[in-house]
Amino acid sequence: MDRKRVVIAGLGDTGVLTAIRLARRFDVVGISVNPGLVSGQELGTRLARPEDWARNYWIAFDRFRELDRVRTVHGTLTGADLSARTVSVRDADGTAWVQPYDALVISTGVTNGFWRQAVLQSAGDVGAGLQKAHARLASAGTVAVIGGGAAAVSSAANIAVQWPDIRVGLYYPGEHPLPQHHWRARKRVERRLAASGVTLYPGHRAAVPEGFDCAAITSGDVHWDSGQSPVHADAVLWAIGRVRPNTSWLPAELLDEHGFVRVTPELRVPGLDGVFAVGDVAATDPLRSSARNRADGLVARNVAAYFTGDRMRRYRPPASRWGSVLGVQPDGLEVFAPNGFAFRFPAWSIERVLQPWIVRRGIYRGVRADEQNFVTNG
């Protein structure tokens, strides 16, 4: 009997894991604007230590052993005909074609600042972007990080640790940073920020110019809607959470009022057979938390259940965000549980246990050794 074909639209963090889980049972086609996994995780490490970040978060598709069964396509999604069960693709070389599917998993993510863009990139483009942002910050005497979420907090802390002579300020609108995390995690991270030399500026809501998309590190004055005097910085990093879902290729009837893909608790797109969505693009809950809670396993199981007629499982979002906030620090890695308590991986265990055994072998089911440094060689 012919194997069913599953198309994974978007091979970011969640898309890659979903493809890995489905590849042994189905013919899987994955479509990505990048020639490898370019993770949206750990922005602070990416900016401050790009080679360290690239070692674990910029991984060519042919290094994943379980993706050997997957046909990965380097191209851009341009449309979808859901009645014909096809998606339209433009390859990296400009060739346009149509890809049929029996099931479609939408995991195209969001655009959010310069570190998550839905543009076609080569390996050289990715490496050059990493080095450009790093060099821009390294040459600054003062850095203003705008935003109070995990990306902003991680960036401020890692910049301060990497370059102790740079004056780093973190500006956010609320009383505390990390408003979507548990209060225990918030308090602990605030102490870590202060210890690293970051100056905290609560109650600062930036006046964002009309049409500004946070797609570059800027310089100059930052003005505030909250009434404070302008602040000048050599480098201004905008991490204000202004995300845009990468859904321009989809019919409007699939989307909610903000452009995210509407889903049922089973991560199915309502009213469409065999269409699912997962990750930041899926409107699961206000935090769109299926991107950070290993929902790849659930959506893969439900895709299989769609073909067999078995009962599907429901996604249950956590009450607050969890996971790593600051990334790997000189004393190790702290991972916060939903209740705010932290589990620490000591520094020695990161490259001896966590990455090789838990991540590369356990989560990704095997990652081959890196044959080149994409940061320096592209």
Q: How confident is the model at residue 112 (pLDDT cuts 50, 70, 90)?
A: confident
Please check whether residue 355 lies inside any domain of the structure: no
Asked if residue 288 and residue 218 are part of one domain, the reply reads: no
Give the CATH number of the domain where residue 292 resides. Answer: 3.50.50.60
Q: How confident is the model at residue 371 (pLDDT cuts 50, 70, 90)?
A: low
Percent of the chain with pLDDT strictly greater than 90: 84
Which pLDDT belongs to residue 116?
A: 86
Q: How far is it, in rounded angstroms, from Cα 124 to Cα 112?
A: 21
Looking at 238, 260, 280, the residue that finishes a domain is 238
**In this structure, what token pair is assigned to residue 28?**
């899987």
Q: What is the DSSP letter of 204?
A: -
- Average pLDDT along the chain: 93
**In this structure, what token pair is assigned to residue 120?**
């076609």
Instruction: State yes or no: pLDDT of 257 exceeds 70.
Output: yes
Give the burial class of 265: count Cβ atoms within 10 A of its Cβ; 0-12 exposed, 13-18 middle, 19 or more buried.
middle
Which pLDDT belongs to residue 286?
A: 84
- pLDDT tens digit sequence for 74-91: 999 999 999 999 999 999
Please check whether residue 76 lies inside any domain of the structure: yes
Asked if residue 35 and residue 92 are part of one domain, the reply reads: yes
Instruction: State yes or no: pLDDT of 43 exceeds 60.
Output: yes
- Tell me the average pLDDT across 11-38: 96
From 322, 301, 300, 318, select the one nearest 310 (Cα to Cα): 301
Please check whether residue 19 lies inside any domain of the structure: yes
Asked if residue 225 and residue 130 are part of one domain, the reply reads: yes
From 167, 232, 165, 173, select the one nearest 202 (Cα to Cα): 173
Asked if residue 268 and residue 168 are part of one domain, the reply reads: no
Q: How confident is the model at residue 363 (pLDDT cuts 50, 70, 90)?
A: very high
Contact yes or no for 313/302 (Cβ under 8 A): yes
- Please state which of the ranges 294-303, 330-339, 366-375 shows the lowest mean pLDDT: 366-375
Asked if residue 77 and residue 42 are part of one domain, the reply reads: yes
Instruction: State yes or no: pLDDT of 376 exceeds 50.
Output: no
- Please state which of the ranges 127-131, 179-183, 289-293, 344-348 shows the lowest mean pLDDT: 289-293
Q: How confident is the model at residue 132 (pLDDT cuts 50, 70, 90)?
A: very high
Please check whether residue 332 lies inside any domain of the structure: no
Asked if residue 133 and residue 116 are part of one domain, the reply reads: no
Asked if residue 224 and residue 152 are part of one domain, the reply reads: yes
Asked if residue 209 and residue 62 are part of one domain, the reply reads: no
- Please state which of the ranges 47-61, 248-262, 325-339 shows the lowest mean pLDDT: 325-339
Please check whether residue 369 lies inside any domain of the structure: no
Better-scored residue on pLDDT, 119 or 86: 86
Please check whether residue 314 lies inside any domain of the structure: no
**In this structure, what token pair is assigned to residue 23?**
């590849």
Asked if residue 114 and residue 127 are part of one domain, the reply reads: no
Contact yes or no for 157/44 (Cβ under 8 A): yes
Asked if residue 294 and residue 148 are part of one domain, the reply reads: no
Asked if residue 248 and residue 158 are part of one domain, the reply reads: no
- pLDDT tens digit sequence for 2-24: 799 999 999 999 999 999 999 99
Going along 82-225, which residue ranges are E strands? 86-91, 96-100, 103-106, 110-111, 142-146, 167-171, 199-201, 218-222
Distance between terminal CA atoms of the chain?
42
Asked if residue 280 and residue 252 are part of one domain, the reply reads: yes
Domain count, the chain: 2
Looking at 308, 326, 346, the residue that finishes a domain is 308
Percent of the chain with pLDDT strictly greater than 70: 97
Which pLDDT belongs to residue 289?
A: 85
Please check whether residue 364 lies inside any domain of the structure: no
Please check whether residue 259 lies inside any domain of the structure: yes
- Tell me the average pLDDT across 34-48: 95
- pLDDT tens digit sequence for 181-198: 999 999 999 999 999 999
Instruction: State yes or no: pLDDT of 377 exceeds 80.
Output: no
Contact yes or no for 4/307 (Cβ under 8 A): yes
Better-scored residue on pLDDT, 90 or 377: 90
Looking at 201, 217, 238, the residue that finishes a domain is 238
From 100, 109, 21, 105, select the one nearest 274 (Cα to Cα): 105
- Tell me the average pLDDT across 102-112: 95
For residue 181, give the 3-state DSSP assignment: strand
Contact yes or no for 47/133 (Cβ under 8 A): yes
- Tell me the average pLDDT across 227-252: 94
Q: By residue range, what is the domain housing residue 162?
A: 123-238
Going along 55-136, which residue ranges are E strands? 58-60, 71-81, 86-91, 96-100, 103-106, 110-111
Instruction: State yes or no: pLDDT of 285 exceeds 90.
Output: no
Which pLDDT belongs to residue 372?
A: 57
